[in-house]
Structure formats: C-alpha cells, structure tokens
Structure 1
Amino acid sequence: MSGANLVAEAFEAQRDRLRAVAHRTLGSHADAEDVVQEAWLRLSRQDPATIENLAGWLTTVVGRISLDVLRARQVRPDALHDESDRVDDSPAPEDDVALADSVGLALLVVLESLRPSERLAFVLHDLFAVPFDEIGQILGKSTNAAKMLASRARRKVQATGSPAGDGREQREVVQAFLAAARHGDFEGLLRVLDPEVRLTVDTPGGEVVVLGVTKVVAGARLSAAAAAQGRAVLVDGRPGVVAWREDGAPLSVMAFTVVGGRIVAIAVVVTDPVKLASMELAR
C-alpha cells in the first residue's frame, strides 16, 4: 500500500471522531463536514514524516479551524469580544466530572452564549478529554488560561443545567421579555436581558448572530411580534415559543435560556424542517 493510501486510511479511522469534535463545537452538521474536509486537505499537503501523533495533529487542526469559524460568526465591529487572557482567578481542577457527551438543543443554546475560546476549551476538555496543554496550543494561550476558560464555560453550562428558580419563574421571565418587546418598553427589556445576551437566528439561508443587550433590544420587537402569533411550549425542557403551520407542523421556534432571572441566550430556528423535527416540543 502506498504512503498516500496509508495516510488516507489513517485519516478515515479518525473521521468520525473529528466530525464529532467539530459538530459539538459548532452545532452544525454542515459546518462540521466542511471543517473535516479542510482538515483532510491540510493533511494531504503535509509530509506525514513530520507528524508524530496523527490523532493529536488532526485534533489541533480541527480545533483551530472550528475556532476560526466561531470567530467569523462574531465578526461585527460593535460586537467583538476581547479574546485576550482575561481569565477567572478561581481554581479549575482537572478532575471535574465531564458533562454528558451529547449536544441537544438545550446545550447548544448554552454553548451559543459562550465566547469562542470558552466554547472550544469546554468542548475539547469536558466532552473529548483533550489535555489542557494541547488546548492551550490550539488557542494560542497558556495551559492555565485554557483551564480557566474551560472552567468559566463549565460554570455557565452547569448553571443553566440547574437554573435558579423553577420552570414557572423562567416562563415568567420570558413572558416579561415578550410583553416588554411588544410595548417597546426599553427599561423592561433591560431588566430581563443579560448584558451579554446572545441571539442566534438559524434560517435555511444561514445563521445570524447578534451579541449584546443593545443589539438584541433593537431586534426584540420584531421577535416578539412573531412570537405573539405562537404558543408557549417547552423546547427540550426549556421555555420557548413555537409557531405552527395550519397542518400542525412547527414553523418556527424560539428557545430561551434563563439564568438568575435574566435571559442569557435566545435561539430562533426558522422554517428548517429537519432541525424543527428533531426538537422535543411540549405544548
């Protein structure tokens, strides 16, 4: 077997794992496939003799490409986050229990509220057990900075996994948001939206991301107008609003992540039959 065939065979043995890493990082099957294909192209141009650990090399490449994709989603002059080593001082023990290796809508909504470096550090470490020194190399940060980023992300994920307040309180926050948006109540919106709230609109034509309370408030009235025609539901266990077609099929869904009495993320899926069909919607 030729050297090229050996490389191709070795890559195929890693493909499923690489696709899983990219999908859990990006939340999109299409983007994940693109990332894996780009990794293969880069590998095909690389001298195999220079790669000591193929699995590690591929994970690094997929991680860096995924990070570029996450950052590209956020590139708006008025919504850029500082991705420098501004990390928490609190400890991040390496023996923290990894969270469930799955990404349903609920976790994806939470992940969408994280900054790119936080999201990648959390996914690689907590879902795929990649060592922090390798994560630091991918992010271009120190090992300690990678630990802190993962720790900060983990706290946010765990907080939404066990949010303060019961379901009724969360629904009340969502209803307050919709009412304030419908009536143009700016102060009311500020009371229920987290300053770093993230709005993600997933349409067949692509994903639109809006960051920060100012931008979200600007588009909140439109969102509320659409939601007013829908019905309150639980979306994978989280408060949301769904609009139904005449035949009873879901047309669009808004899912809210509420932490500490404030909305930290809003995910909107519009007319995507495949994604809508995969959601657990309880009327």
Structure 2
Amino acid sequence: MTGSDAHEAVAQAFEAQRERLVAVAYRMLGSRMDAEDAVQEAWLRLARQEPATIDNLAGWLTTVVGRVCIDVLRSRKARPEAPSDQLPELLVAADAGDTPEDEAVLTDSVGLAMMVVLDTLRPAERLAFVLHDMFAVPFEDIAPIVGRSTDATKMLASRARRKVQDRPRASEEPKRQRAVVDAFIAASREGDFEGLLRVLDPDVTWRAYTGRGVVVRRGATEVATRAQLGAKAQVSTSPVFVNGEPGFVVWNRKGTPLGVMACTVADGRIIEMVSVTDPARLASMDLPRSG
C-alpha cells in the first residue's frame, strides 16, 4: 500500500469512528459544539501521524479525544465562568405526541439530570465513568489517558458511579410524565397551591439558570410558592422534550421565548426541575415555535 493509500484508508477509518467519538466527547463536555471541536482536534493530530505507527486506531482516537476533553474541562475549572454558563447544552424537540419529532434528540442526548450530575465530577472521574460505564472501554485502556494505575482508575469510576446513582431518575412512561407536567402547568396558571403540591415531590429541587446566575429552590412548598407567581400571566406554553425529558417552552404574547423547563417525574410527581430564563442563552437556542 502506498503512502497516499494508507492515509486514505486511515481517513475512511476515522469517519467510521466519528459518531462514536462525538458521543464520547459530548458526554464529557456537555456541548455538541465543543464535542465536534474535540473530535476535529483528534483528526488534525491524526493527519500529522504516520499510519504505520498506530496499531489500534479506535483506541488511539479514543485516547486523543479523552485527553483533549480533560484539557478542556481543566481549563474550565481554571477560569470559572458565570454560573449561568455551567448548564449543559439543551437539546429541545417539539412534543407532537408520544415521541419527539426528531428521534435523534432522544438517541443522541443524555438526560438533563444526568448531564447536570456529570458536570459536577472531576475531569478524571468523568472520563473514567464515561468511557467505562457508557462505552465499555476497559480500565486498562483508560488508565494511561488519565495518568493513573488501573486500580486507581477503577476507584475514579467507582466514585463517579456513586454520585451518578444518587441522581434523580424518571420512573414513569412518557405519557404519564407528560400528564404530570401538564398538571403542573395548569396548577401554575390557576395559582392552585394545593394542586401544585399534589404534583411536586416533597423534596423536589428546582434549578433556575437566569441571566444573573443559578437560583436553587428545594422542597414542594418553596417551589409551589414560586410557581404561583406565574398565575394569570399572559403567556403560552409549548410541550417539548428537553434532552429526552418532558418539559415546556414559555412564550410571551409577541412569540418571544421567556423560558424553557425540563422535569424529571417519578412515582407520579416531579422530583427535579431545570429551567433557563437567561435571554442570551434562549436567543441562541433552536426552539420549536409557539403554536
């Protein structure tokens, strides 16, 4: 095989790996754009590498993407951004019935509650967990990427796993989840405090990402009291899926989005809520239009 043929074969092999690499990077970075950039960086490094020096292309690419992602995460930690910028990317699709119009949103995305938890992990913990638990990469292959022994890498993944297992989890079928979210919307519109308490878990958490930072409310009473403030407001809502979870977009009378909310439902009640009202972030999102 000539040199040009070898490079062409490597390019084709890279394209075959691209989708998996983007999936890994997205779970690491929480941003589709950043994930694409990480994979592009891997391609640039591959283009400078002699094909004959790579024994296992898939493993080599995973290593490079993993290290690029760790560098990005460490860079974020070194220069903290505004709290409103720490929210993972939201993938929003219209809810036309049982499933999103764009099936890829459910297939490619990770539940928002999961992404929020992943974002709290240390870079090495996150990589060990993502590669091993989500992509079945052996610890022996992950260890060199994070610069730890195999046993130490197992401990990283174990710590991450414990944090992830504590996250809120949906336990209802999609139709039931939507019915609970619709009941929340209706009670909010009517200022029905008791109705809100019926659909909110007593320990519900609401993380609101605003233009000024993150506001966290805990407990059904506090959340219901805040939700009541929207009673009789001249707004409309559109049902959507947010990273695969039921939610809604709030619009004003001019058709401008005022907010996006995602809800995690378990045992007939909302246990976790994440909302975005930051105008700059809303303006950058591709939201289904209000009906």
Query: TM over 0.5, yes or no?
Result: yes
1:49 aligns with 2:60: no
1:64 aligns with 2:67: yes
Q: Give 2:10's aligned residue.
A: 7
| TM-score normalized with structure 2 length | 0.57
Unaligned runs of 5+ in 1: 79-99, 179-199, 211-215, 258-262, 279-283
Single out whichever of 248-257 and 28-37 deviates more from structure 2. 248-257
| Secondary structure of the structure 2 residue equivalent to 1:160 | coil
| Secondary structure of the structure 2 residue equivalent to 1:141 | coil
Q: CA, structure 1 residues 73+227, in 2 after alignment: closer, same or farther (shift >3 Å)?
A: farther
Deviation at 1:243, TM superposition (A): 5.2
Q: CA, structure 1 residues 238+57, in 2 after alignment: closer, same or farther (shift >3 Å)?
A: closer
Q: CA, structure 1 residues 273+14, in 2 after alignment: closer, same or farther (shift >3 Å)?
A: same
Q: CA, structure 1 residues 250+5, in 2 after alignment: closer, same or farther (shift >3 Å)?
A: same
| Secondary structure of the structure 2 residue equivalent to 1:170 | strand
Q: CA, structure 1 residues 32+234, in 2 after alignment: closer, same or farther (shift >3 Å)?
A: closer
Identity %: 56
| TM-score normalized with structure 1 length | 0.59
Q: Contact between 2:114 and 2:164, CA under 8 Å: does it hold in 1?
A: yes
Q: Deviations over 1:105-131 (max 9, x none)?
A: 221122112221121111111110011
Unaligned runs of 5+ in 2: 82-106, 171-198, 218-222, 232-238, 265-270
Deviation at 1:16, TM superposition (A): 1.3
1:140 aligns with 2:147: yes
Structure 1 segment 56-135 matched on structure 2, within 5 A? 56-76=59-79, 103-135=110-142
Does 1 or 2 have the higher relative contact order (CA < 8 Å, sep 6+)? Answer: 2
Deviation at 1:23, TM superposition (A): 1.4
CA distance, structure 2, for counterparts of residue 11 and residue 238 of structure 1: 32
CA distance, structure 1, for counterparts of residue 283 and residue 159 of structure 2: 32
Deviation at 1:246, TM superposition (A): 2.7
Q: CA, structure 1 residues 41+238, in 2 after alignment: closer, same or farther (shift >3 Å)?
A: closer
CA distance, structure 1, for counterparts of residue 273 and residue 149 of structure 2: 29
CA distance, structure 2, for counterparts of residue 36 and residue 46 of structure 1: 15
AA at the equivalent of 2:63:
T
Q: Contact between 1:136 and 1:143, CA under 8 Å: does it hold in 2?
A: yes
Residue-pair matches, total: 211
